[in-house]
């Protein structure tokens, strides 16, 4: 699954920018290192001799030191971006690439995140591509004495890290992280010289700025169901304390509370709590057409499944093809949904890509182009229990990504 994720949700959302540097081999990318000098870069004062330049590469070999980008590109202050660095490690070497950091004269960088460089360093199990001490990787996806590319994508509260094109980290920063200096904000980049026994080479350092993330817009105003309509079934949808409460009705088919507006490329977020006896879901890019089973709601459904199977966050094709992306091979994802608690879902639809997260944990990654646009709908499933069952939704919001498409 991960091999298909490549530059997924963020790479697709970027706007193509004209190349500023003739040295940037890929369109829209800006070179940050000229291959010959430290122009635009500044060493820390603790051990400046740790860094040198050899054969077009920055070499980190020696006691702790950091090399910060302080050049003119965006006044060395990056918020949303893609960064690519070609790296080579010698055996038992440790290093790192910092982002959203700021220059300091000495010590370990206090601000921002570190992307780990380590293929065989024995004293630290965190391997290349780790978002250090936040989302760690324990398998080596690159080898010593061979060049590899670390690709970092930051957009809003998302961080993706790829090693040689394979996504190894797909992270959404929780809101509480903003209280720490180790959080997403803005800032510059820094390369790490870790210790005297480590030798790391860095070259072809290039960046592609990305547009600002669109603002979130509420889909539910907390007061009434303006902008929504019920299709199929007779389940009840009511509002209690700014929460939409869906209640089963005996004998009812699947019931759907649908947005009147259709959406194509978007990011959707909502909080949901579900009676453990009930199965539910949220439709995306869905349709109700008279010529298709007399208006039956059909299309992609993001699963809400409190049962022991635990496929919440999977993608089911309602009234069409059935399961498209389950969680049988995603053990971490199966643990993400918490019964009898509020759960935060994140859904990304862009082009033929659909991805989901529950409570920040990746749950589904689907590539499918059957339907490109449709409504969003809250489902109350048919139910045969002795007493009515309920499902609750709140904080339903969306941001439209249709205007962030790359130029043709």
pLDDT in tens, 50-68: 999 999 999 999 999 999 9
Task: Indicate the pLDDT class of residue 106, thresholds 50, 70 and 90.
Answer: very high
DSSP class of residue 382 equals -
Residue 246 CA to residue 233 CA, distance in Å, equals 12
> Does residue 261 contact residue 227 with C-beta atoms inside 8 Å?
yes
The answer to whether the CB of 277 falls within 8 A of the CB of 391 is: no
pLDDT classification of 189: cutoffs 50, 70, 90: very high
pLDDT value, residue 18:
27
> Backbone phi, then psi, for 2, in 5-degree steps?
-65, -30
**Closest listed residue to residue 84, CA positions, set 75, 97, 73:** 97
Q: How far is CA 346 from CA 129, 180, 255, 312, in A?
A: 23, 23, 22, 12
- Please report the pLDDT score of residue 386 as a whole number: 85
Question: Is it the case that residue 174 has pLDDT exceeding 70?
Answer: yes
Cα distances from 83 to residues 77, 105, 153, in angstroms, run 13, 24, 6
Domains observed in the chain: 2-209 (2.60.120.560), 217-404 (2.60.120.560)
Using a pLDDT cut of 70, give the percent of the chain over it: 92
Residue 331, C-beta contacts closer than 8 angstroms, at least 6 positions apart: none
Any idea what the Cα angle at residue 258 is, between residues 223 and 282, rounded to 5°?
Answer: 100
Give the DSSP letter of residue 303. Answer: E
Neighbours of 358 (CB within 10 A): 24
Residue 318's pLDDT is 95
- Tens-digit pLDDT profile for residues 238-269: 999 999 999 999 999 999 999 999 999 999 99
User: If pLDDT is split at 50, 70 and 90, which confidence band does 75 have?
Assistant: very high
Yes or no: say if 150 and 161 are a contact pair by the CB < 8 Å rule: yes
What is the phi/psi pair of residue 208, to 5°?
-130, 110
Structure-block tokens of residue 71: 């050049």
Give the residue-averaged pLDDT of 200-213. Answer: 94
- Cα dist. 253→229, 383, 392 in Å? 16, 8, 19
Q: Which two tokens stand for residue 3?
A: 């091999």
Distance in angstroms between the alpha carbons of the first and the last residue of the chain: 28
- Provide the token pair at 121: 């360093």
C-alpha–C-alpha distance, residues 65 and 387, integer Å? 66
Nearest alpha-carbon partner for 304 in 332, 341, 327, 272: 272
- For the residues 177-205, what does the mean pLDDT come to? 93
Helices first, then strands: H and E counts in the chain: 2, 28
Q: What is the pLDDT of residue 21?
A: 30
140-144: Cβ within 8 A, 24+ apart:
141/166, 141/168, 142/87, 142/89, 143/119, 144/89, 144/90, 144/91, 144/93, 144/119, 144/120
pLDDT tens digits, 262-296 = 999 999 999 999 999 999 999 999 999 999 999 99
* Positions of E strands within 250-360: 255-259, 266-274, 280-287, 298-304, 315-318, 322-325, 343-350, 353-358
pLDDT band with cut points at 50, 70 and 90 for residue 212? confident
Confidence tier at 2 by pLDDT (50, 70, 90): very low
How buried is residue 4: exposed, middle or buried, by Cβ count under 10 Å (0-12/13-18/19+)?
Answer: exposed
Q: Is the pTM of this model over 0.85?
A: no
CB 32 within 8 A of CB 206: yes
Query: Residue 373 above 50 pLDDT?
Result: yes
Here the tokens at position 111 are 């601000």
376: region left, alpha or beta (phi > 0 left; psi from -120 to 50 alpha): beta
Grade residue 388 by pLDDT with cuts at 50, 70 and 90: very high
Q: Does residue 7 register a pLDDT over 80?
A: no
Q: Taking all residues of the chain, what is their mean pLDDT, rounded to a whole number?
A: 91
Of the pLDDT bands very low, low, confident and very high (cuts 50, 70, 90), residue 22 is very low
**Element spanning 332, H or E:** helix 331-334
């Amino acid at each position: 699954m991960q091999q298909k994720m490549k530059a997924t949700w963020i790479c697709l959302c970027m706007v193509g920018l004209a190349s500023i540097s003739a040295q940037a081999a890929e369109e829209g990318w800006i070179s940050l290192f000229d291959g010959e000098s430290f122009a635009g870069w500044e060493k820390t004062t603790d051990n400046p001799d740790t860094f040198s330049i050899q054969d077009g590469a920055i070499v980190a070999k020696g006691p702790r030191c950091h090399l910060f980008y302080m050049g003119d590109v965006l006044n060395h202050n990056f918020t949303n971006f893609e960064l690519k660095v070609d790296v080579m490690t010698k055996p038992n070497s440790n290093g790192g690439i910092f982002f959203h950091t700021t220059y300091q004269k000495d010590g370990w960088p206090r601000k921002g995140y570190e992307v780990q460089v380590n293929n065989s360093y024995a004293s630290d199990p965190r391997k290349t591509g780790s978002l250090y001490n936040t989302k760690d990787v324990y398998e080596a996806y690159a080898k010593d004495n061979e060049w590899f590319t670390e690709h970092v994508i930051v957009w809003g509260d998302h961080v993706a890290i790829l090693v040689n094109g394979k996504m190894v980290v797909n992270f959404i920063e929780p809101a509480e992280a903003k209280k720490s200096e180790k959080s997403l904000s803005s800032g510059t980049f820094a390369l790490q010289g870790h210790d005297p026994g480590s030798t790391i080479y860095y070259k072809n350092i290039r960046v592609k700025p990305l547009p600002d993330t669109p603002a979130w817009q509420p889909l539910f105003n907390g007061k009434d169901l303006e902008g929504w309509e019920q299709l199929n079934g007779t389940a009840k949808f009511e509002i209690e304390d700014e929460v939409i409460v869906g209640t089963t009705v005996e004998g009812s088919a699947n019931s759907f509370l649908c947005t009147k507006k259709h959406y194509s490329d978007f990011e959707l977020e909502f909080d949901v709590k579900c009676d453990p006896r009930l199965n539910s879901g949220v439709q995306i890019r869905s349709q109700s057409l008279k010529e298709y089973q007399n208006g039956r709601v059909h299309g992609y459904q993001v699963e809400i499944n409190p049962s022991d199977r635990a496929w919440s966050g999977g993608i089911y094709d309602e009234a069409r093809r059935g399961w498209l992306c389950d969680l049988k091979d995603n053990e971490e994802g199966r643990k993400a949904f918490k019964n009898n608690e509020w759960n935060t879902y994140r859904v990304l639809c862009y082009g033929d890509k659909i991805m989901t997260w529950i409570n920040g944990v990746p749950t589904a990654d689907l590539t499918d182009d059957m339907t490109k646009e449709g409504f969003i709908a809250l489902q109350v499933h048919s139910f045969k229990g002795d007493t009515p069952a309920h499902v609750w939704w709140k904080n339903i919001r969306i941001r439209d990504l249709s205007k962030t498409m790359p130029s043709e």
